[in-house]
Amino acid sequence: MPELPEVETVRRRLEPVLVGRRFERVEILDPRLTRPEDPLEVAAELVGERVEAVARRGKYVVIRFESGRALLVHLRMTGSLLHVDDVPEEDPHRRAVVELDDGTALVYRDVRRFGTWLLAEPGEAEPYLDARLGREPLAQAFTTKRLGETLAGRRAPVKAAILDQRRLDEDELRALHRGIRAALNAGIARQGATLRDYRTPDGGSGRMQHEFKVYGREGEPCERCGRPIEKIRAAGRGTWFCPGCQHITNN
C-alpha cells in the first residue's frame, strides 16, 4: 500500500506533467471520494484551476493551484494516481478523471475506496495537515534529538514487542532514527513497493518489495541468522520480525 516512499514517488512523477496544467474537465465517479463534501460540487470547483506545484506532506499528495487552493489526495490502501495520454475504457475501479489542457488526463483508481480527495481553500491546507501529521522524517529538522522528544513520555511500545521505547538508550535511538531514514530513502530509490495495487503514475511497479527481509515471511528462516521469522499483531497491524536480529526486550 502507499506508504511515504510510494507517495513521494507519485509526487515526483506527477510534478513535471501537472505543473502549469489547467483542469479542463473533472468527473468524480465515486461519491465517497470527497466525503463529506458533495462530489459534484467539488468537481465543479476544480474545473479551471491551474496547477502551481505538486507537493507531499506525510502520505498526502498536495496539488497546489495558482488560486491558492489545494487538492489533498490521500491514497490510503489501494488508491493510485495515473497520468495517461488517453483515458482507457472500462475500469470498474476508476473513481475520478481529470482532463488536462494538454490533452492528457489524471486518472484516479481505488479498489477499496478508502482514498479521499479534499479541496482546501486558500490557507486551509496547512492547518489541516499540521493538525493530523507528525514531523517529516526526511526533513532536516527530523533529528535523533527530535525523535527522542517525540517518543519521550510515551509508554506505548514502538511496534509492540520489537522495540520498547522505554529502553531506547542513546545508541538505540540513533539507530532507530537512521533506520527510519534509510528505509524510506531505499523505498523512494526503488519507486516504492508493489505488493498488489500500488502503481506509479505511469502504471509501473515499484521494486522495494524485493528488498523486504521479514515482511510476509512468517516461518521462513531469516537470511541473516537463520532463525524463523515471527509474526505478531501490534496495535492491530500485522508485524513481522526476526527474533534473532531484531532483539526483543520483553516487558
Partner DNA sequence: CTTTTTCCCTGGACGC
Partner DNA sequence: TGCGTCCAGGGAAAAA
Q: Which of residues 35-74 bind DNA (CB under 7 A)?
A: 58-59, 74
What number of residues does the chain have?
Answer: 251
Q: Where are the beta strands (DSSP E) in the chain?
A: 23-28, 51-57, 60-65, 70-74, 79-84, 94-100, 105-110, 116-120, 230-234, 237-241
Residue with cell 535523533: 144
Considering only the stretches 16-24, 105-113, 168-176, 242-250, report the one whose residues sit in contact with DNA under the rule CB under 7 A. 105-113
- 1: contact with DNA by CB under 7 A: yes
The least CB distance from residue 51 to DNA, in Å, is 23
Active site residue 2: yes
The least CB distance from residue 235 to DNA, in Å, is 5
Closest CB to DNA among residues 100, 208: 208
Closest CA to 81 of 72, 73, 70: 73
Alpha carbon distances (Å) from 219 to 78, 195, 203, 228, 241: 27, 19, 33, 5, 10
Catalytic residue, chosen from 3, 24, 27, 52, is: 3
Q: Round to whole Å and give the CA distance between 145 and 53.
A: 31
Closest CB to DNA among residues 132, 178: 132
Q: Round to whole Å and give the CA distance between 232 and 65.
A: 44
Among 48, 68, 127, 238, binds DNA (CB under 7 A): 238
Closest CA to 77 of 114, 42, 126: 114
The least CB distance from residue 119 to DNA, in Å, is 16
- 94: contact with DNA by CB under 7 A: no
Active site residue 237: yes
Considering only the stretches 21-29, 99-107, 135-143, 152-160, report the one whose residues sit in contact with DNA under the rule CB under 7 A. 152-160
Residue with cell 537470511: 223
Is-contact 117 234, C-beta < 8 A? no
Considering only the stretches 20-28, 46-54, 107-115, 221-229, report the one whose residues sit in contact with DNA under the rule CB under 7 A. 107-115
Active site residue 3: yes
Residue 132 parent element (H or E): helix 125-132
Q: Which of residues 153-212 bind DNA (CB under 7 A)?
A: 153-157, 196
Q: Are strands 230-234 and 237-241 parallel, antiparallel or unpaired?
A: antiparallel
Catalytic residue, chosen from 22, 50, 59, 174, is: 59
Residue with cell 517525540: 150
Closest CB to DNA among residues 50, 59: 59
- 77: contact with DNA by CB under 7 A: yes
Among 25, 132, 145, 224, binds DNA (CB under 7 A): 132
The least CB distance from residue 179 to DNA, in Å, is 17
Site residues for DNA per CB under 7 A: 1, 3, 32, 58-59, 74, 76-77, 92-93, 111-114, 132, 153-157, 196, 235-238
Which residues are identified as catalytic?
Answer: 2-3, 59, 237
